[in-house]
Structure 1
């Protein structure tokens, strides 16, 4: 079983790469953002709660996120492994994920981080906002707030996985196929 944390700031290409990798390696892609958007669209209790945080550019609280993630893993108990996209975002989430996977006799094999300059990401996200209609991608101040959240709260998760020799930084600028090839070298070495 291969379990990968796909990491990077908003707009780095995590979702795009996860779509390719899930098919290539027969993994289940769990995107917290997609799960939240589904719940928001369907106005579930979780969705309304998550929306109140996301609309302000803030992270959804750990307890809500962790419970949702565990439910997604349980739904796919026969999987060959998982790509976690958008989770963990804090060290406490990483510890909770390790504890949860340990109960299942599994572990995180690698954190693969897509590294992209912030100004490139702002341009990408504003363009994505025009196409997707996502409100959080149409306002540069909200985008910059998401980067601030990422840099102050989320980027420290890199240190957590570096200490375990599981961190792999990948240049997230280039063609989709070129970036996939770089990621595949890491996955194939696990």
Structure 2
């Protein structure tokens, strides 16, 4: 099973990815984790990424695409994968389409975890309060900025994948177990 999880920050993509990993025995591919892993493994792309980050620059789409492509070739991705945090833009989605076609595979589904902005802000603030160890993005101003970036750059992927008849939407504001059940139902599993 080859999946993409879409949704705004705080919608529960990471939580659902972990559940789906266990349920289907496929890895979650988080762009940030892949970049850190490539750097640690000192792959040629990893060394290039390290140099870029050391300069304080952003990693280009070409490099992110290369890192994703490398990771998709790993043995544990043969039965499938869950992409979380990639693609973030239409350009990245188009690159992913070409990449998968070159590998002779295709996506099975794109799961949109839908959530309301004000509820997400409450959720993240509560998470910070309850855990006692706030993450850097666990404050309202930062979260609202990230939600704006998501709306501008990533939300257009909903229409992109709907046009390809790959999109399945679930209510991310339901309890975790209900979201999981809705995802499995949307996947026909």
* TM-score interval, smaller chain: 0.7 to 0.9
Give the whole-Å Cα distance in 1 for the aligned partners of 2:145 and 2:51.
21
Q: CA RMSD in A?
A: 2.9
Residue 48 of structure 1: how far off its partner (Å): 7.5
Match of 2:44 in 1: none
Residue 64 of structure 2 corresponds to which residue in structure 1? 65
TM-score calculated relative to the size of structure 2: 0.82
- CA distance in structure 1 between the partners assigned to 2:63 and 2:2 by the alignment: 21
Q: How far apart are residue 133 of structure 1 and its match?
A: 4.2
Mapping for residues 103-118 of structure 1, pairs under 5 Å: 103-118=102-117
Deviates more, 1:29-38 or 1:159-168: 29-38
1:149-171, Cα deviation, whole Å (9 max, x unpaired) = 11011100111111111111100
Matched, 1:94 2:93: yes
1:121-156 residue CA offsets vs partner (Å, 9 max, x unmatched): 112223445645431x23322211111111011100
**1:105 positional shift:** 1.0
Instruction: Give the Cα–Cα distance (whole angstroms) in 2 for the partners of residues 171 and 48 of structure 1.
Output: 40
Alignment pair present for 1:74 and 2:112: no
Q: Is the 8 A contact 1:116 1:171 kept in 2?
A: yes
- Contact residue 26 and residue 77 of structure 2 kept, 8 A: no
1:18 and 2:13 are equivalent in the alignment: no
Structure 2 equivalent of residue 176 of structure 1: 176
How many residues are paired up?
A: 182
The Cα of 1:27 is off from its aligned counterpart by 1.4
Contact 1:36–1:50 under 8 Å retained in 2: no
Matches within 5 A, 1:120-131: 120-129=119-128, 131=131
State the TM-score, normalizing by the size of structure 1: 0.82
* Contact 2:49–2:59 (Cα < 8 Å) also in 1: no
Deviations 1:14-52 (A, max 9, x none): 01001111111121210124345667999x763685695
- Measure, in 1, the Cα distance between the counterparts of 2:31 and 2:80: 16
Distance 1:11 1:32 in 2: 17
Measured at CA, do residues 122 and 61 of structure 1 come closer, stay the same or move farther in structure 2, by a change above 3 Å? farther
